[in-house]
Chain A
Amino acid sequence: MSSEAPVVRAVNLVKIYQTGGLPVPAVRGVDLTVEAGEFVAIMGPSGSGKSTLVHMLGGLDTRTSGEIWLDGRRADTLSESGWAVLRREKIGFVFQFFNLVANMTVADNVELPALLGGVSPRQARERREYLLGELGLADRAGASPAQLSGGEQQRVALARALANQPRLLLADEPTGNLDSRNTRDVLRLLGQVHGQGQTIVLVTHDARVASMADRVVSLLDGQIVDDGAIPKSRRRPLGAAGDVVELRS
């Protein structure tokens, strides 16, 4: 494990937005290493820069300075197209608002990344059938995203993110828009894929969600204020009534 390069390595990562001529720092000097097979939760209050950090790790947003290494390759110097190709091959994304392509069926949504990755249509279909079957959506393949519930949509989004067996799964508040039952389902699925060795970086401000992870990184005002592994014993059973009251922003 230690001989293998880390899946993600960020060195002194900085992101400064220019808003109306004023520099607004969102991420200020983050160092983060995620080893293969790790499940890292990034926590922090609204505006702490956690989404920006994940977007930069996936190349959706450009860094202001610093380095990003993915799978032992430097990625921050890539062009937009270079990032796009890298995402096809190595990164899966899950977003808060599911972001399924509205005019495509569930099946097309899941097959799209596989086709983009260069897999034959037949293989893409087999992979899609397998994934949807695993996620309990086999009978919804022909539906359009608008016909699905929020939980179902997020499960489809998860299937789509996993279609190319990515090295890294980035999840940005995947349960932020779901009720507790669907939250539980989605987290159970994340736990399952993690159990199969999937590396996951998940952004949340929900402590219950974060408690699923091996390790929690806390951000405040764009800087890491805490980074620690969660002992197995402290992990909560999922779906139990929480005694932590959360304020949703």
Chain B
Amino acid sequence: MITTRTAELRWIRADLRARRGQAVLTVLAVAGIVTALIIAATLLEDGTNPWRGLFQRSNGAHIWIHSKDVPDVSALRQLKGVTDVAGPYRSAPATLVARGRRVPITLQETPAALPAVARPLLREGRWLDVRTPNGVVVERSFARALGLRPGSPFTVTGLNGATHTLTVAGLAESGDQGFYPEWTPGLAWTLAQTLNVVEPAPGRTETVTGLRLADPAATDLVVQRAVFTMRNQVQRVTTWREVRASMELDNRLLGLLLALFGGAGLVAAALALANAAGGRVLMQLRDIATLKSLGFTRGQVVRMLVIEHGTLGLLGIAAGALVARLITTYAMGESVVVPLSAGPLSAILVGTSLTVLAAVLIPAWRGGRTPPIPAAPAAPPRGHLSRLARVALLVRLPPALVLGARDAFTRRAPAALTLCGVAIPMMMITIGLGCWTTLDDFIRHPESVGQAAALTVRPAELTAEEARQRAMADPDVVAAYPGAELDALVPWQTRTVRTRALGLSSDPYPFPVVEGRMFADRGEAVAGQGLLDLLGVQIGDRVRVTIGGTPLIVRIVGRVVEPEQDGEVLSLGVDSLAAKDAEPPQFYALVLRSGADAAQVRARLQGQGLEVAQAVNPADRLVVIRVIIVALVAVLALIGLASLLTASALGLRDHILDLAVLKAMGLTPRQVMATLVTATGLPAAVGVVLGAAAGASWSRWLIDLEGRGSGVGAGIGRAPTPGMLAAALLIAIGAALLVALIPARRAARAQVPVTAR
């Protein structure tokens, strides 16, 4: 039995040695796909969940306990599950005066030497220094929102009303402080002595203590124990979950898009391998038959082929995982903080491994079925000249084309293989282009994703009416819709959903309604897909929500594209709310003149003392997807071309005897070449067209499906633009013909032996 294995291994080794280049290519193709998948997943994970990386790098604390007095640190440290303690630090509320606005802020004491636990990550400027006690380090997202840079003045007013002018020394990030404005108030780290200057009264400061846990899942338990240990000192507790939630972005849409690309990558990997293995098996059917005549059983042949090609695939997966790890660690060390978490990584590895084995199994099974008579000639070419072909010859179409076309369609199995080998990558490419167009559409028509208003202004110090007037005075502002965002309790749910009141029922904000109609009366509302799914309601149903204690019954009259909050948003007119919630409006949503630069308008309005936020286009968060699309299109194109090369090599093998006949019949080498190119190129071209058509019609449906699944709702999907599609088609067909041309040219010029092989 052991030596039987030796025989199998010896054959595998010999075969691999005989086609070293091809084997390396297979490994590289699979490795490329796996690398692309892992990097894409890493970037997406990092982009959607920056907390993970920040927390890991800053060695953050899972629990922050705010207390009046300094707690018993040693008791906290001895709590079961606590591995380390950060602080205790004193922290004081203050008000930052910036550009005429007053913004609440928290000052927190930090040592000049960076602590081991809950260590802020300095991004710009320098860290606190005892020699310059006036320097503070500001949390970066807060600094960006306020336009602060290292060196900017930092004027704070303490609770006693005294104003102190400090300087921004640096900007830092931390996994313990959420992003502004989702997480308020903003944070600045100062030295203890600076804090004492701003807030001399110990009674008005509080103490924060961070606990780092061995197991984050034990957070709730440890919070209970800590609260018990500290008796009545605890004022409030924040945990890593809240910080993470404030940093997370459209996770579901991104996750689903990643799943789509993952699927495409898996199909690509399967195609690459099935093609390489299948082509190889077809090329060596004679050798396999010989092996069987020597006494190899069907099972042994299948096993040998699976081991040979499967090993190449698994090698590719391992190499891909390694390369992706190296790239994320070294080449992208700045942008990617931590490697992909275990879940998605193992999903990718297991998924590709299973795909690889499945893709290899089919050609291996085909090889195992080879009859053991090696001398049997390849099946003689079947088929006859169809009536169509005869007519074509009669009307004097070039005979080479007719013969080639006939070849393409009488040998159905190889033609179908070529067709599929080209059509599937082409379909995937087209779907990728559809995603690209969808992203373009987000940017070109932000109103179609609910971002008709590029800016929102909050009155800050002013009254709402003043704010509206100042905003409308700007020449680029076309309309200002009064708005309020509130949390609503919905029946049967333990959590709240976002309720967005924007515009009046008589003059509604231009929500992108894709189903039903816009609200037109008090008591009517529109909702995102996520909310409809959450409540299990349909358009036309009434829902009862509780907003700030006031019950409100609204009828949902339409569905909007809703990119925020996973689509769990109820939108209605301000006048539908109770007066206490509606007046005065919390903010105004500003629609700008088309072509206006939102950033400039924002700067102008900020100069007017308004607090202005700029809408973040979902496409800007999805930029990484464009990189992935380009990479995947390149990999898919290579796979398509590789499968075409295999197909034309196989076609040539089947034709080698015909070539002599064709030449004997008097066809010139050029005509022979044209025949061969037509025989391979025609199914390839048909495959390209079919694949593109399928991709174009499915991409919209598929993206809408993703949208629906993510709560954004159907209606965002776009098919690739006609120009893009035409260019893709022309390039693909051109490349296919070119690839078919190379072996055909060589074959047409070669001296063809008339004997059997």
In the assembled complex, B294 has its CB within 8 A of some CB on chain A: yes
B297 touches A112 (CB 8 A): no
CB nearest to A157 among chain B residues? B290
Task: Tell whether A87 is near chain B: CB-to-CB under 8 Å.
Answer: yes
In the bound complex, how far is the Cα of B17 from the Cα of A184, in angstroms? 35
* A100 proximity list for chain B (CB < 8 A): 290
Question: Measured between alpha carbons, how far is A102 from B19 in the docked complex, in Å?
Answer: 12
Per-residue CB contact flags for chain B residues 292-306 toward chain A (1 = under 8 Å, else 0) read: 111111111000000
Is A233 an interface residue, CB under 8 A from the partner? Answer: no
CA distance A111 to B372 in the complex (A): 19
Q: Across the interface, which residues of A come within 8 angstroms of B287, CB to CB? A: 101-103
With A105-B14, A116-B295, A172-B375 in contact, do A99 and B6 touch (Cβ < 8 Å)? Answer: no
State A38–B374 Cα separation when bound (angstroms): 26
Complex CA–CA separation, A58 to B294 (angstroms): 10
Q: Does chain A have a CB within 8 A of B217?
A: no
- A104: CB under 8 A from chain B? yes
Contact check, A118 vs B3: say whether CB atoms are below 8 A apart: yes
Q: Which of B1, B294, B372 has the most CB of A within 10 A?
A: B294
Asked if B290 and A101 make an inter-chain contact with CB atoms under 8 angstroms apart, the answer reads: yes
Contact with A along B370-405 (1 / 0, CB 8 A): 011111000000000000000000000000000000
- A218, chain B: closest CB distance, angstroms: 21
Chain A 75-102 interface residues, beta-carbon cutoff 8 Å to B: 80-81, 84-89, 93, 95-97, 99-102
**Are A118 and B1 touching (Cβ within 8 A)?**
yes
Q: Which residues of A contact B372 (CB under 8 A)?
A: 59-60, 80, 84
B296 lies within 8 A of A116 (CB):
yes
Chain A residues closer than 8 Å to B292, beta-carbon distance:
60, 84
Residues of chain B with a CB closer than 8 A to A103's CB: 14-15, 17-19, 284, 287
Chain A, residues 23-52, CB within 8 Å of chain B (1/0): the string is: 000000000000000000000000000010
Interface size range of chain B in the complex: 20 to 34
| 0/1 string, A137-151, CB within 8 A of B gives 1 | 000000000000000
Q: Kindly count the residue-residue contacts between A and B in the assembled complex, taking CB atoms under 8 Å apart.
A: 103
Closest residue to A100 on the B side, CB-wise? B290
A39 to chain B, nearest CB (A): 21
* Distance, CA A115 to CA B298, complexed state (A): 17
Q: Whole-angstrom distance from the CB of A143 to the nearest CB of chain B?
A: 13
Q: Chain A residues near B293: list those with CB within 8 A.
A: 58, 60, 87, 93, 95, 99
Q: Does B756 contact A (CB under 8 A)?
A: yes
**Distance A116 CA – B291 CA, assembled complex (angstroms):** 10
Q: Please name all residues of chain A whose beta carbon is closer than 8 Å to the beta carbon of B444 when the two chains form the complex.
A: none
Render A156-189 as a binary contact track against B, CB cut-off 8 A, 1 for contact: 0000100000000000100000000000000000
A31 → B minimal CB distance (Å): 23
Max chain A Cβ within 10 angstroms of own Cβ: one of B7, B287, B757: B7
Which residues of the other chain, A, contact B286 by a CB distance below 8 angstroms? Answer: 99
Decide if B11 is an interface residue (CB 8 Å cutoff). Answer: yes
Task: Assess whether A222 is interfacial by the CB under 8 Å rule.
Answer: no
Chain A CB within 8 A of B10 CB: yes
> Per-residue CB proximity of A106-117 to B under 8 Å, as 1/0?
001001110111
How does the 8 Å CB contact mask read for B619-633 relative to A, with 1 for contact and 0 for none?
000000000000000
**A61 interface residue, CB < 8 Å from B?**
yes
**A194 interface residue, CB < 8 Å from B?**
no
Which of B3, B14, B290, B296 meets A119, CB within 8 Å? Answer: B3
**In the bound complex, do residue A116 and residue B15 qualify as a contact, i.e. CB atoms below 8 Å apart?**
no
The answer to whether B295 and A84 have CB atoms under 8 Å apart is yes
State how many angstroms separate the Cβ of A157 from the closest Cβ of chain B. Answer: 10
> Does B4 touch A at the CB level, under 8 Å?
yes
In the complex, the chain A residue whose C-beta lies closest to that of B4 is A116
**Residues of chain A at interface, number, CB under 8 A:** 39
CA distance A10 to B269 in the complex (A): 51
Could you tell me which residues of chain A, from 115 to 136, have a CB within 8 Å of some CB in chain B?
Answer: 115-121, 124
Instruction: Choose among A58, A81, A101 the residue with the greatest number of B CB atoms under 10 Å from its CB.
Output: A101
Tell me, rounded to whole Å, the shortest Cβ–Cβ distance linking A29 to chain B: 22
A112 with B11: CB separation less than 8 A: yes
B294 touches A88 (CB 8 A): yes
Q: How many whole Å from A106's CB to the nearest CB in chain B?
A: 12
**Nearest CB of chain A from residue B534's CB, rounded to whole Å:** 59
Chain A residues contacting B299 (CB-CB under 8 Å) are 81
A20, chain B: closest CB distance, angstroms: 9
Q: How far is the CA of A86 from the CA of B297 in the complex (A)?
A: 10
B294 to A116, Cβ gap below 8 A? Answer: yes
Contact of A118 among B4, B11, B757 (CB under 8 A): B4
Q: Is the CB of A104 within 8 A of B375?
A: no
Q: Give per-residue flags for B722-757: 1 if the beta carbon is below 8 A from chain A beta carbons, else 0.
A: 000000000000000000000000000000000011
Which of B3, B4, B293, B374 has the most chain A CB atoms inside 10 A of its CB? B293
Task: Give, as a whole number of angstroms, the nearest-CB distance from A165 to chain B.
Answer: 14
| Residues 272-293 of chain B, each 1 if its beta carbon lies under 8 Å from chain A, else 0 | 0000000000001011011111
Shortest CB–CB separation between residue B391 and chain A, in angstroms? 26
Question: Complex formed: what's the CA distance from A102 to B299 in Å?
Answer: 21
Q: Which residues of B contact A119 (CB under 8 A)?
A: 3
Whether A101 lies near B291 (C-beta < 8 A) is: yes
A104:B298 contact, CB within 8 angstroms: no
Residue of B11, B19, B294, B374 near A160 (CB, 8 A) is B294
Could you say which of B1, B4, B375 contacts A99, with CB atoms under 8 Å apart?
B375
The answer on a CB contact under 8 Å between B14 and A95 is: no
Among A61, A97, A117, residue most surrounded by chain B Cβ atoms (within 10 Å): A97
A121-B294 Cα distance, complex, nearest whole Å:
17
Give the CA-CA distance A3 to B173 in the complex, in Å: 96
CA distance A105 to B371 in the complex (A): 24
With known contacts A60-B373, A88-B295, A103-B18, A97–B756 Cβ distance under 8 A: yes
Q: How far is the CB of B174 from chain A (nearest CB, A)?
A: 61
In the complex, the answer to whether B4 meets A115 with C-beta atoms within 8 Å is yes
A95 — which chain B residues lie within 8 A by C-beta? 293, 374-375
Give the chain A neighbours of B284 by CB distance below 8 A: 102-103
Which residues of chain B are within 8 angstroms of A97 by Cβ–Cβ distance? 374-375, 756-757
Bound complex: CA of A115 vs CA of B290, how far in Å?
A: 15
Q: Tell me whether A96 and B294 are in contact (CB under 8 A).
A: no
Chain A residues whose C-beta falls within 8 Å of the C-beta of B18 in the assembled complex: 102-103
Contact status A99-B295, CB under 8 Å: no
Cα separation A192 to B33 with both chains bound (whole Å): 58
Interface centre among B295, B297, B375 (most CB of A within 10 A): B295
Min C-beta distance of B287 to chain A, whole Å: 5
| A146 vs B19: C-alpha distance when bound (angstroms) | 15
Query: B297 touching A85 by the CB < 8 A rule?
Result: yes
A96 to B295, CA, bound (A): 18
Known interface pairs A101-B14, A103-B17, A104-B14; A112-B294 also in contact (CB < 8 Å): yes
Say whether B295 contacts A113, CB under 8 Å. yes
Q: How far in angstroms is the closest Cβ of chain A from B366?
A: 15
Q: Which residues of A contact B6 (CB under 8 A)?
A: 115, 121
Q: Mark A200-242, 1 if CB is under 8 A from B, else 0.
A: 0000000000000000000000000000000000000000000
When chains A and B are docked, how far (Å) is the Cα of A249 from the Cα of B14? 35
Which residues in A have their C-beta under 8 angstroms from that of B290? 99-101
Distance in angstroms from B157 CB to nearest chain A CB is 83
Cβ-closest chain B residue relative to A91 = B295
Shortest C-beta distance, A240 to chain B (Å), equals 27
Check A115–B3 contact: CB distance below 8 A: yes
Q: Are A81 and B298 in contact (CB under 8 A)?
A: yes
A103-B284, A108-B14 are known contacts; what are 14 more A-B pairs with Cβ within 8 Å? A84-B295, A84-B297, A84-B300, A86-B295, A93-B294, A95-B293, A95-B375, A99-B375, A101-B14, A102-B18, A104-B11, A113-B295, A116-B3, A117-B295
- Residues of A at the B interface (CB closer than 8 Å) are 51, 55, 58-61, 80-81, 84-89, 93, 95-97, 99-105, 108, 111-113, 115-121, 124, 160, 172
12 contacts between A and B (CB under 8 A): A80-B297, A84-B297, A87-B295, A99-B289, A99-B293, A101-B290, A102-B18, A112-B10, A115-B4, A116-B3, A121-B3, A160-B294
